[in-house]
Amino acid sequence: MKIGVCAKISPHADARIKIKSDGSGVDTAGEKLVVGDYDEYAVEEAIRTKEAVGGDVTAFSVGPASDEKLIRSGALALGCDSAVLISGDDAEGAGALGTAKLLAAAIKEAGCEVVFTGKASTDGGSSQMGAMLAELLGWAHVSQVTEFALDGGNFKATRNMDAGVRQIVSGSLPAVITCEDGLNEPRYPKLPDIMKAKRKPLAKKSAGDYGVGAIAPTSNQSNYAPPPPRPPSRIIEGDAASAASELVRLLREEAKVL
Amino acid sequence: MSILVFADSANGAFKPTAAELLGKATALAAALGTTVTAAVLGDAPAASLGGLGAAKVFQAAGDFSNYDNGAIVDALAAIVAAANPTVILAPASYIGRDALPRLAARLDTAMGSDCSDLKVEGGVVVGRRSEFAGRAYADVSISSTPAVFTVRPNTFPKPENNGGSAEVVAVDWSASTPTVSVVETLAPEATGIDLSSAGKVVAGGRSLKSKENFDSVIRPLGAALQAGVGASRAATDAGYAPHNEQVGQTGQTVNPQLYIAAGISGAIQHLAGMRTSKVIVAINKDPDAPIFQHATYGIVADLFDVVPELTKAVEALD
């Protein structure tokens, strides 16, 4: 089976987030980059699916050419067989919809039957790309999946919904699956595999290689700022019982939330 | 030209986000000089949305009780074709993350997700949203039409329904998207109060030390406050609380009026899930815990001493 995984290279959770002085964006130059948290689960699930049913895994990513090293270490070294990296200013700035258009074209070309991706990126975090990709491919999709299994051309998945409700669902391939925290336990690369990954095929593409039409972003971000400051906290003194009753009084009379 | 609000419903009743979004849409529409319309899937009382500001309601009949993103997108796309809105507002709940991006792609338009504010600027609606797990905020504007925004529940006040009635337009739709079938729905393991839209949340961390302590100390306060119960990742990883109660970057995002963090240090990953809470109470015996920098009120003490007293004090309220 042809299996695909879409993974975005983004700043590590502990990276410093510096707002540019003109508010036009965030400067993460020099910060540690990794495959995004949720995309790690997607990479792992794609490899596990290959191990269960056979076939091969292609990793797809949109990002600067310098992401090649991280795609090799964060996807190919773990067991993906090949990769497609789509680079260039227009591709890298395409926004969620443009990114989905490029990935849909690349996935069609590769002939994948199932594609995994994270439920959200760890930078923009808009949770849009996976569902958009499914729509552009005309495939079924399931979001926020915590369990997944294939049975021939059908799949069974468990998804996390609102209010703590989970549902077991079934459907037919082809499908896009967006991966939730806890879907699996992502593996670490072994040194020999890191060496081997250097020789695995990685196709460097540009938006022009895919005749997908306009991918210019129609969403525009501006006025970047740190989180709004909170007023200084008030520390309530006294023993447990008196602090508790003073807190309840403040929550009722001052904050008016009780 | 209008602002179309997706008024989400379940079992024939509108969810609180319907009033919240209609209230905000009414203010935005007044600033833009346009009208508010609403989209309803299934059999909720569509005309009643007139009392919340909708001039016209587009209703797609059908059984939507078994969540199917294909049917939702097909029906909403038919409503959009009939309503021809310039802006679409929807809740940033599961449906907002699962079905709305698919709808946006079908409409070949961009989307601003999980907004924590909306305003009119330069004659268009602009959203404010967080990136990098809440460590940066940015405005998002959309130049394609319709501009789609989802809004985090509990962001705006919910207006009272003034009893008005709206014209209801029945919209025909047909299913064309591949279907995913529900095999089984698994009820929540704990309180059943929806954390992501709860007005009050009580959360416990690693300091609880055991599931028994979590159940005997945190849950009674949650019950007394009729609050959702949450936990830090450290607490869910240790098995003190189920995974679906995790608040934070890799868990749920909450936006309550009141968030009580007991024995939670306030790691950046936890803050990502709760920093927009209106009032934050921190209870921690470590005075240097980062959570105190974000708290409205703090008590520096052992949670095992304070939380039971707090439960008693809340229960004593009339």
Asked whether residue A240 is domain-assigned, the answer is yes
Is pLDDT of B191 > 60? Answer: no
Q: Can B2-170 and B195-315 be said to share one CATH topology?
A: yes
**Whether A249 and A165 share a structural domain:** no
Strand runs labelled E in A28-165? 33-35, 56-62, 82-87, 114-118, 140-151, 154-160
Does the structure show a pLDDT above 80 at B80? yes
What Cα–Cα distance (Å) separates residue B70 from each residue in B88, B90, B173? 19, 17, 12
Tally of domains in chain A: 2
CA distance B35 to chain A (A): 23
- Residue B210 pLDDT: 97
Cα(first)–Cα(last) distance of chain B, in Å? 49
Domain for residue A108, yes or no? Answer: yes
- Give A61→chain B minimum CA distance, Å: 19
Residues A134 and A59 in one domain: yes
Question: For B297, which of A17, A227, A250 is closest by C-beta distance?
Answer: A250
Determine the pLDDT at residue B255: 92
Q: Which of chain B's residues have a Cβ under 8 Å away from the Cβ of A151?
A: none
Beta partners for B168? B57
Pairing of the two strands B297-300 and A33-35: unpaired
The Cβ-side half-sphere exposure at B116, using a 13 Å CA radius, reads: 20
pLDDT of residue B190: 56
Nearest residue to B271 (alpha-carbon basis) of B288, B291, B256, B246: B291
Task: Report the mean per-residue pLDDT for chain B.
Answer: 95
pLDDT digits (tens, 9 = 90+) for B110-159: 999 999 999 999 999 999 999 998 889 999 999 999 999 999 999 999 99
**What's CA B35's distance to the chain center, in Å?**
24
Q: Is the domain of A113 the same as that of A205? A: yes
User: What average pLDDT score do residues B302-313 get?
Assistant: 97
Q: Do A171 and B179 touch (CB under 8 A)?
A: yes
Same domain assignment for residues A257 and A134: no
Of A140, A141, A227, the CB nearest to B275: A227
Instruction: State whether A122 and A240 are in the same domain.
Output: no
In this structure, the number of other CB atoms found within 10 A of the CB of residue A8 comes to 23
Flag if A165 and B109 touch (Cβ within 8 Å). Answer: no
> Quick one: closest CA in A to B70, which residue?
A140
Q: Are residues A181 and B251, on separate chains, in Cβ contact within 8 Å?
A: yes
Whether A219 maps to a domain, the answer reads: no
Minimal Cα distance from B105: which residue of A?
A132
CB B286 within 8 A of CB B302: no
pLDDT at B24: 98
Q: What residue segments make up the domains of chain B, in order of their start?
A: 2-170, 195-315
Q: Could you tell me if residue A216 is inside a domain?
A: no
CB-nearest partner of B97 from A14, A95, A143? A143
- Indicate the fold that domain B2-170 takes in CATH: Rossmann fold (3.40.50)
Please answer yes or no on whether B133 and A122 come within 8 Å at the CB atom. Answer: yes
SS3 B165: coil
**Res A29: pLDDT:** 87
For every one of its 258 residues, what pLDDT tens digit does chain A have, with 9 covering 90 and above? 999 999 999 999 888 999 999 999 999 888 999 999 999 999 999 999 999 999 999 999 999 999 999 999 999 999 999 999 999 999 999 999 999 999 999 999 999 999 999 999 989 999 999 999 999 999 999 999 999 999 999 999 999 998 778 999 999 999 999 999 889 999 999 999 999 999 999 999 999 999 887 788 899 999 999 988 888 889 999 999 999 999 999 999 999 999
Quickly name the fold that domain B195-315 has.
Answer: Rossmann fold (3.40.50)
Q: Is the domain of A53 the same as that of A152?
A: yes
Average per-residue pLDDT in chain A?
A: 95
The domain of A123 spans 2-209
- Residues A174-195 have pLDDT tens digits of 999 999 988 999 999 999 999 9
- Same domain as A194, residue A135: yes
Please give the ipTM for the structure prediction.
0.95
A248 and A166 co-located in one domain: no
* A195 and A246 share one domain: no
Are residue A21 and residue A123 in the same domain, yes or no? Answer: yes
A-chain residues near B183 (CB < 8 A): 156, 167-170
Q: Are both A235 and A152 inside the same structural domain?
A: no
